[in-house]
Structure formats: C-alpha cells, structure tokens
Structure 1
C-alpha cells in the first residue's frame, strides 16, 4: 500500500466515519437516514456507474 492509499473499514460509513450496525444492510439504512451520506453515495454511484460493465446493480 502506498502512502496515498487509505484502508477502508467496512464497519464505518466511508462518507462520515460513523460506526455501522453491519457493513451491508447497516450501511444502506445509514445512507437512507443521513441526507449528507445519501447525497455523497448517490454522487459516488453516478460516477462509477459507467465504469462497470452492464451498469450498477446495487
């Protein structure tokens, strides 16, 4: 890992750092209830959609 890379903790929201109840469903519940994280997630998803063959299924 280079110095510019950061590790990702699946137990934390990547947008605000809040501890999540679970990496999958807990993240989605968090994004649904936190407007700033929801907006950041939507922006991220819009940016990666074209990078994924067949589109984004999530």
Structure 2
C-alpha cells in the first residue's frame, strides 16, 4: 500500500511538473530573448526519473 501511495505521489508530481512546464513556456521564451534560461527541462527530467523509479518497484511487492 505504501508503494502504491509512493507511486501515485510520484505520478502526481510528474504530471504537475509537466503542467508547470507547459504553462511556463511563454515565460521561458521571453526569458530566452533576454539571454536567460529557466531550468524547466531539468525539473521535468528529474520528476520523470522519480516516477520511473517508483513505477519500476511495482513488480517488487
């Protein structure tokens, strides 16, 4: 049950991070014009790795 809760929380984090990335796109594009970069990609990749690790433990009950 804890594993299911952990996997669900990781999935929610991943989906929320994707939504944040989509919503932040106009801001990121504007920031890029100013020569700045936002770490949105690394946030999404980190959340994806967390979810994949949590989902990988599904078979280890």
Return the structure number with greater helix share. Answer: 2
TM-score normalised by L of structure 2: 0.32
Q: Could you state the TM-score of these two structures normalised by the residue count of structure 1? A: 0.34
Q: Which gives a bigger RCO, structure 1 or 2 (Cα 8 Å, sep 6+)?
A: 2
